[in-house]
Amino acid sequence: MKKLLYTLALLAICFSCVEVIDLSTRDGEKTLVVDGMFTTKLKQHQVKLSYTTVYPSNPNALPEEQLISGAQVQVISEAGETFDFYESAIGVYSTIDSVAGIVGGTYQLRLFVDDQEYLSDPQTITPVTAPDSIYYEYLEDEDNIAVYIDSKDPGDSRNFYRWTWTSNYIVITNFGDELDCCARCFISKVSNDIVLHEDTYTNGQPIIKKEIAKIPVDINGDYLIFINQHSISIETYDYYDLLNRQISSTGNLFDPPPSRLIGNISAVNSNENVLGFFMASDEKTIFGQIKRSPYFTGLGKVSRYGDCRLLTNSDTLTPPFWNTKVLPIY
């Protein structure tokens, strides 16, 4: 659902009342959508590519997403390095090896899709501080666990932040007799939440109790969360801030009209409209484990999973850092 809202927001902004794009003769025109990030963490970085098709002759139809296979994807550096990507899944491209950018380095995303070349604007990586602490509290009214971080904010410059997070949680089947093959699974999750901060009015002051995630107490299994703190440019901040406000908009009469969302990727030899953004950043990670069992009532929440390997993003192998430190409660 979040992915659909993300796509809808991009379309609503780009085809908004601020700038009218003539689609009268291009019913069903495909628009390239790019979502990519390259950071200083040593890992396999990913870029996701898709087409979104809109049908102006049928305004009630939802946009259709078509994953792009067979593209050529690279990240190039100002220093002359080239990082090649391979298609690790349909529409998902990963670096061949675990690689990392460097603070002060400048990087561009280069794509070749259907014989068309696309380039992002150059992105220079600025340093980011590491989070100082991570902790959580149970929100009884919502039956959620809110996860927070504290962090320092350098006072010698204006700073812009984005947080991303991933998680693993355990599922234990309760489908009759325990199944030897698949009684215990670990589910991995990559959040699409857009969490930002800028220090215009708080430069040099610590970031305290910044809410990064909300975890539902829908099962009683432990929950391992990794929070990544990113340094971003003002252009990156403005892009994701506008996108976040569009996604969060209630759509009532008093909402401001959507503004045109301008990404940082363009076609080299045409005026083709491209949606999305390529972000390069420093990245520092903090993690810990949450015990959900004290807050789990079980009322109306018991699921008969059966073979838990059939659940999305499920694996029977214990993930790294599973038996790590338990997070403090706020």
Consecutive H or E run containing 195? strand 195-198
Enclosing domain of residue 56? 30-125
Identify the band that residue 92 occupies on the pLDDT scale cut at 50, 70 and 90: very high
Q: What is the DSSP string of 49-95?
A: EEEEE--TT-TTSPPEEEE--S-EEEEEETTS-EEEEEEEETTEEEE
Of 74, 105, 125, the residue that ends a domain is 125
User: Which position has the token pair 């689609």?
Assistant: 23
What is the CA 19 to chain-centroid distance, rounded?
A: 27
269/306: higher pLDDT: 269
Same domain, 166 and 314: yes
Same domain, 163 and 146: yes
- Cβ atoms of 85 and 91 within 8 Å: the answer is no
The answer to whether residue 169 is domain-embedded is: yes
The answer to whether residue 266 is domain-embedded is: no
pLDDT score at 235: 95
Same domain, 201 and 307: yes
Same domain, 143 and 170: yes
The answer to whether residue 222 is domain-embedded is: yes
Q: Which residues contact 239 (CB under 8 A, 6 or more apart)?
A: 261, 262, 263, 264, 277
Average pLDDT of the residues in 134-153? 93
Same domain, 196 and 241: yes
Same domain, 118 and 198: no
Of 72, 99, 125, the residue that ends a domain is 125
pLDDT (tens digit, 9 = 90+) per residue, 107-121? 999 999 998 999 999
Identify the band that residue 50 occupies on the pLDDT scale cut at 50, 70 and 90: very high
Cα 52 to Cα 41: distance, rounded to the nearest angstrom: 30
Position 64: which residue type? E
User: Which position has the token pair 């396999």?
Assistant: 44
Lowest mean per-residue pLDDT among 34-38, 123-127, 243-247, 255-259: 255-259
Same domain, 166 and 243: yes
Number of compact structural domains in the chain: 2
Q: Which residues contact 35 (CB under 8 A, 6 or more apart)?
A: 47, 48, 276, 277
pLDDT score at 292: 84
Q: 5 is written with which tokens?
A: 């809202």
Return phi, psi of residue 104, to 5°: 95, -15
User: Which position has the token pair 């857009």?
Assistant: 194
CATH number for the domain harbouring residue 93: 2.60.40
pLDDT score at 13: 40
Cα 171 to Cα 175: distance, rounded to the nearest angstrom: 12
301/65: higher pLDDT: 65
The answer to whether residue 141 is domain-embedded is: yes
The answer to whether residue 8 is domain-embedded is: no
Same domain, 156 and 250: yes
Q: How many residues belong to the chain?
A: 330
The answer to whether residue 5 is domain-embedded is: no
User: Which position has the token pair 């338990």?
Assistant: 326
Cα 183 to Cα 251: distance, rounded to the nearest angstrom: 44
Percent of the chain with pLDDT over 70: 78
Residue 84: count of CB within 10 angstroms of its CB:
13
Residues facing 314 on adjacent strands: 187
Cα 301 to Cα 257: distance, rounded to the nearest angstrom: 40
Lowest mean per-residue pLDDT among 15-29, 91-105, 233-247, 306-320: 15-29
3-state secondary structure of 246: helix
Same domain, 176 and 200: yes
The answer to whether residue 22 is domain-embedded is: no
Q: Is the pLDDT of residue 282 over 90?
A: yes
Same domain, 104 and 236: no
Same domain, 43 and 139: no
The answer to whether residue 143 is domain-embedded is: yes
Q: Which of 4-8, 10-14, 222-226, 321-325 has the highest mean pLDDT?
A: 222-226
Same domain, 188 and 303: yes
Of 125, 149, 165, the residue that ends a domain is 125
Average pLDDT of the residues in 25-43? 82
Cα 260 to Cα 269: distance, rounded to the nearest angstrom: 22
pLDDT (tens digit, 9 = 90+) per residue, 230-257? 999 999 999 999 999 888 875 555 566 5
Q: Which residues contact 201 (CB under 8 A, 6 or more apart)?
A: none
Show the CA angle centred on residue 141, arms to residues 140 and 144, nearest 5°.
60
Cα 212 to Cα 215: distance, rounded to the nearest angstrom: 10
